[in-house]
Amino acid sequence: MFNKLYDIVEKIRPNFEEGGKLHAFWSVFDGFATFLFTPNTPAKRIGAQIHDGNDSKRTMIMVVLALVPAMLFGMYNVGYQHFLATGELVKGAVTCAMFWKAFAFGLLALLPYIIVSYLVGLGIEFTVAQWKHEEIAEGFLVTGFLIPLIVPINTPLWMVAIATAFAVIFAKEVFGGTGYNIFNVALITRAFLFFAYPTKMSGDQVFVRTEGTWGWDNGKTLVDGFSGATPLGQLATAPDATAQIHDTLGSPMTLLDAMNGLYPGSVGETCVWAIALGALLLLVTGVASWKTMLSVFVGGGVTAALFNLSGATAVAATPWYMHLVLGGFAFGAVFMATDPVTSARTEVGKYIYGFMIGMVAIIVRALNPGYPEGMMLAILLMNCLAPLIDWCVVQVNISKRMKRA
């Protein structure tokens, strides 16, 4: 089947090449052709080679695959929380039919976000590529997949569209496109939403879909005792240090509950197991750096442990291991901090960069109740500082060698 597809692609290729009648659409054709097959343009046989002719689409596809478990679980969780809120689903007694119903609900709820994110982002990318006569850059493949996973499920679609357009234009294209961006584009999308429409991005109304989707299950009354606040949201607004986190129906959450991820939050961030699966794939294929990933967790753990010593507020008193599994910490550490474009590139720099992400994230959580989740701000801040870290590492290395000589 693949051979046949290859023949078709090769047969229509001349139409798009220089002089062909569809040459105007070369970048679109090239985009899809190299998406399917390894490009037929290996690195030139001159000089020393650091990289081979591998297309970065291959790398991107690995990341997308790694995100799939988190997305599938996110879909189920969206449906699970909805039916929990309407009382249709009984906690601890999920039947097979109920499982699929919850999954279908989540799928239908999340699908529009995926479509909007890709439509807007790829639309801009394709337009810019055609306009500048460049190849279509593949960076948005991952960004478009990340965006639906890091926003609350109740975010209006038009907001997602505006934020995606803003991020792609101002965080990426103005810097020169894929590979030249300073900031993680998906996180800029989220940051734009967060600062432009704060009422839709935080609080206890946005993380659980209480209304139906596509007209299915609209206007249900919610069960007594329902609360859509995320665990970190509860901690940030807790009156004293002894407050306990609880799930949507008010029963307390243990470490295992937090790792299983059946609690309100941005779509893809809740389940640690699903994220761990993705992390495993990224580490085995060598796409993400284990140094960055590990040091984010170490940085977060150490800082949270230090706050545990004071324990003055509910956030500070939350055990350090809970901090690492709640909210977007794990998701950010695995999929955002390791972004090869925006993270530090020197090997020592990766440790510093990761450690400081974890540290800043916990500091934001603990010291600023206005931002219950610190991961987004921490990664964006460190994106800013990554070149500086690299510069320092390189300089230290140079002066060391100078002394040795």
Partner 1 sequence: MAKLLSDKTREAFMGPLNANNPVVVQILGICSALAVTVQLKNALVMGVAVTVIVALANVVISALRNTIPGRIRIIVQLVVVAALVTLVSAILKAFLYDVSVALSVYIGLIITNCILMGRLEAYAMSNGPWDSFMDGLGNGLGYTWVLAVIAFVRELLGSGSIFGFQVIPDWCYEHGYVNNGMMMMPAMALILAGCIIWAHRALNDKEDKK
Least distance from partner 1 to the Cβ atom of residue 372, Å? 18
- Residues 229, 244: contact at Cβ < 8 Å? no
Please state, in angstroms and rounded to a whole number, the distance separating the CA atoms of residues 283 and 228. Answer: 34
Please state, in angstroms and rounded to a whole number, the distance separating the CA atoms of residues 203 and 380. Answer: 22
Of 193 and 382, which CB lies nearer to partner 1 in the complex structure?
Answer: 193
Please state, in angstroms and rounded to a whole number, the distance separating the CA atoms of residues 49 and 67. Answer: 31
Least distance from partner 1 to the Cβ atom of residue 196, Å? 4
Using CB under 8 A, pick the residue from 29, 80, 105, 192 that binds partner 1: 192
Nearest to 265 by CA among 315, 305, 231: 231
Per-residue CA distances from 88 to 252, 267, 339, 402 (Å): 21, 21, 40, 70
Of 99 and 170, which CB lies nearer to partner 1 in the complex structure?
Answer: 170
Least distance from partner 1 to the Cβ atom of residue 88, Å? 26
Retrieve residue 99's tokens.
């499982």
196 near partner 1, rule: CB under 8 A? yes
Of 14 and 156, which CB lies nearer to partner 1 in the complex structure?
Answer: 156
Nearest to 36 by CA among 64, 11, 57: 57
The footprint of partner 1 on residues 117-156 (CB under 8 A) is: 156
Query: Which one of the spans 34-42, 197-205, 296-304, 384-392 is the region binding partner 1 (CB under 8 A)?
Result: 197-205
Of 74 and 152, which CB lies nearer to partner 1 in the complex structure?
Answer: 152
Please state, in angstroms and rounded to a whole number, the distance separating the CA atoms of residues 18 and 27. Answer: 12
Residue 219 DSSP symbol:
T
Retrieve residue 372's tokens.
């219950």
Using CB under 8 A, pick the residue from 25, 35, 175, 197 that binds partner 1: 197
Of 156 and 250, which CB lies nearer to partner 1 in the complex structure?
Answer: 156
306 near partner 1, rule: CB under 8 A? no
Number of chain residues interacting with partner 1 (CB under 8 A): 11
371 near partner 1, rule: CB under 8 A? no
170 near partner 1, rule: CB under 8 A? yes
Using CB under 8 A, pick the residue from 199, 215, 240, 404 that binds partner 1: 199
Residue 24 DSSP symbol:
G
Using CB under 8 A, pick the residue from 25, 61, 65, 200 that binds partner 1: 200
Of 170 and 320, which CB lies nearer to partner 1 in the complex structure?
Answer: 170
Least distance from partner 1 to the Cβ atom of residue 195, Å? 5
Nearest to 250 by CA among 219, 222, 269: 222
If DSSP codes are grouped into helix, strand and coil, which group holds residue 216?
strand
Of 196 and 367, which CB lies nearer to partner 1 in the complex structure?
Answer: 196
Please state, in angstroms and rounded to a whole number, the distance separating the CA atoms of residues 245 and 258. Answer: 10
Of 114 and 159, which CB lies nearer to partner 1 in the complex structure?
Answer: 159
176 near partner 1, rule: CB under 8 A? no
Least distance from partner 1 to the Cβ atom of residue 174, Å? 8
- CA dihedral sign, ordered 273, 57, 180, 393: positive
Q: What is the residue type of 284?
A: V
140 alpha carbon, distance to own chain's centre = 12
Least distance from partner 1 to the Cβ atom of residue 111, Å? 19
Report the length, in residues, of the chain.
Answer: 405
Using CB under 8 A, pick the residue from 195, 214, 216, 391 that binds partner 1: 195
Residues that bind partner 1 (CB under 8 A): 156, 158-159, 170, 192, 195-200
